[in-house]
Structure 1
């Protein structure tokens, strides 16, 4: 009796640009370690959410990760969205169950896991979060539901996401003891810098065409307590301008590589029910 050949499961990152991504290294190693008949690759695309949903079903992909703008534009095309992702208003992970597409967001929980892995006392944290896009909202949600003591968010009031950010803070306020506040970036000089124990940059300032820029000035960073830790979601370059400035002041700094691996671990578990070897992966990606 001939045994049936098990078809290789396919997973992908849908993004533009996509070729720089470390996700194939991360997930393919996870498949190998867990002895899963699966492969992960990148699809460079600028297609609409509807076109991408059709592509996921047609190929088919067993699961996928997404970058902006698909984190938001694919939402209306999904059959099911987790409560967490619906609250954030964005997804970064999709599971395909026989054509039924289910969306989740592991960005925020990935950041919280990385913070905990580096010994951050989350229950005592007072956080300054920079940005109001999909990644920032995911981090805000995860921190609030951890919970931490306080999260102060800075976003420009003239940006489309500012009202969405304010609405999210109002929704979270009913579910957490974390003190939440959202401020226009123009009020940055009114902040009480010395009280923050943690600063997280969730903007794109420091990446790509903005690689030579930093969201905060050295003068602003100097007002932080010497024990304040500075995180950047950016991992390429490894040391953004923000982290370079903070490091020069003697502050503890971390790039987004840990968050990348931790959010990938959440996605991997969501797809396969298996565990990604986080520590091993982080050691060979550095």
Structure 2
């Protein structure tokens, strides 16, 4: 594909969130990236400028995924559910926001032959990534979704959002405080799939609860782009099958590309080539079964 044939997209980032993975993923596939470094207070002006550019869409780094919501013309259902936008399509000046973060995780699992339909799911955390995963999980047909929420400064807003979603789900979605250790231990032991949706490398639950993991379970660290993480190491020691968030990241970008263009990227081939060319010491190579 020549440069003239490649679609052009934008990446909105700031000085402290240089998400270098994102342009490399899509430029390796079928697009050219134009990076916009957005200074504080200038996001509205940048989005207004995007409308007139020849870009099929833009992806947004973490700091802008909530702030951009009122700046687009309309939202997809999953973006409305979460009020989080990680990608925007530019329809000749009309901006449409979407959230492919959670969908990317479940698409990655499906591509590896790992199904969650009819399974019991535990999600650890309900911040930005957690909410995207939870909203996407609603559409996967899980038999039960249990969300473990730590008591933090943002707990009240998370609880309000989860309560509204739970009311629409007739008991399928349940919310638990991370301090309810007896309940947590039982839920983790009974789960078919456990997903860590908190940022950072610290385990979101205690070692005693981690020891409830066992063979036959699938454990995913949605935030881990490295080969493994302390959370996954502990899960593997308990005999669980483990996966990082590397494939999730590739799929969320591929879904964004599909949202912009209607075209489906050859993700498995792209993933294999990227893993071979990008920082071998820090990239989780594809795993599947």
- The answer to whether residue 240 in structure 2 is matched with residue 246 in structure 1 is no
Name the stretch that deviates more: 15-24 or 226-235. 15-24
Alpha-carbon distance change, 216 to 158 in structure 1, aligned in 2, over 3 angstroms: closer
Name the stretch that deviates more: 41-50 or 82-91. 41-50
SS of 1:72's equivalent? coil
1:108-147 → structure 2 map (5 Å cutoff): 108-147=102-141
Pairwise CA distance, 1:219: 2.5
Which residue of structure 1 aligns with residue 32 of structure 2? 39
- The answer to whether residue 248 in structure 2 is matched with residue 259 in structure 1 is yes
Alpha-carbon distance change, 189 to 21 in structure 1, aligned in 2, over 3 angstroms: farther
Which residue of structure 1 aligns with residue 10 of structure 2? 12
8 Å Cα contact 1:149-1:178 kept in structure 2: no
Q: How far apart, CA to CA, are the structure 2 residues paired with 1:275 and 1:163? A: 36
- The answer to whether residue 212 in structure 2 is matched with residue 223 in structure 1 is yes
1:176-195 → structure 2 map (5 Å cutoff): 176=169, 179-191=172-184, 192=186, 193-195=188-190
CA deviations 1:27-54 (Å, max 9, x no partner) are 11221xxxxxx41244343434423313
Question: Any stretches of 5+ residues in structure 1 without a counterpart?
Answer: 32-37, 207-212
Question: What's the TM-score, normalizing by structure 1?
Answer: 0.84
SS of 2:88's equivalent? strand
Which residue of structure 2 aligns with residue 34 of structure 1? none
Which residue of structure 2 aligns with residue 232 of structure 1? 221
Question: What's the TM-score, normalizing by structure 2?
Answer: 0.83
Pairwise CA distance, 1:178: 6.8
Which residue of structure 2 aligns with residue 209 of structure 1? none
- The answer to whether residue 57 in structure 2 is matched with residue 23 in structure 1 is no
CA deviations 1:154-212 (Å, max 9, x no partner) are 123443254344434533542x5671111222224422131011111111121xxxxxx
Which of residues 26, 50, 63 is equivalent to 2:57? 63
- The answer to whether residue 165 in structure 2 is matched with residue 171 in structure 1 is yes
Q: How far apart, CA to CA, are the structure 2 residues paired with 1:134 and 1:147? A: 22
SS of 2:66's equivalent? helix
Which residue of structure 1 aligns with residue 265 of structure 2? 276
Alpha-carbon distance change, 55 to 39 in structure 1, aligned in 2, over 3 angstroms: same
Pairwise CA distance, 1:113: 0.8
Q: How far apart, CA to CA, are the structure 1 residues paired with 2:24 and 2:270? A: 9
Q: How far apart, CA to CA, are the structure 1 residues paired with 2:116 and 2:5? A: 43
8 Å Cα contact 2:13-2:19 kept in structure 1: no
Alpha-carbon distance change, 278 to 8 in structure 1, aligned in 2, over 3 angstroms: closer
Name the stretch that deviates more: 5-14 or 250-259. 5-14
CA deviations 1:100-129 (Å, max 9, x no partner) are 211011111111111222333312321111
Q: How far apart, CA to CA, are the structure 2 residues paired with 1:121 and 1:237? A: 23
Name the stretch that deviates more: 238-247 or 265-274. 238-247
Pairwise CA distance, 1:142: 1.1
Which residue of structure 1 aligns with residue 279 of structure 2? none
SS of 1:152's equivalent? strand
8 Å Cα contact 1:13-1:65 kept in structure 2: yes
CA deviations 1:248-267 (Å, max 9, x no partner) are 33221111011111111110
Q: How far apart, CA to CA, are the structure 2 residues paired with 1:157 and 1:248? A: 28
SS of 2:107's equivalent? helix
Q: How far apart, CA to CA, are the structure 2 residues paired with 1:6 and 1:278? A: 22
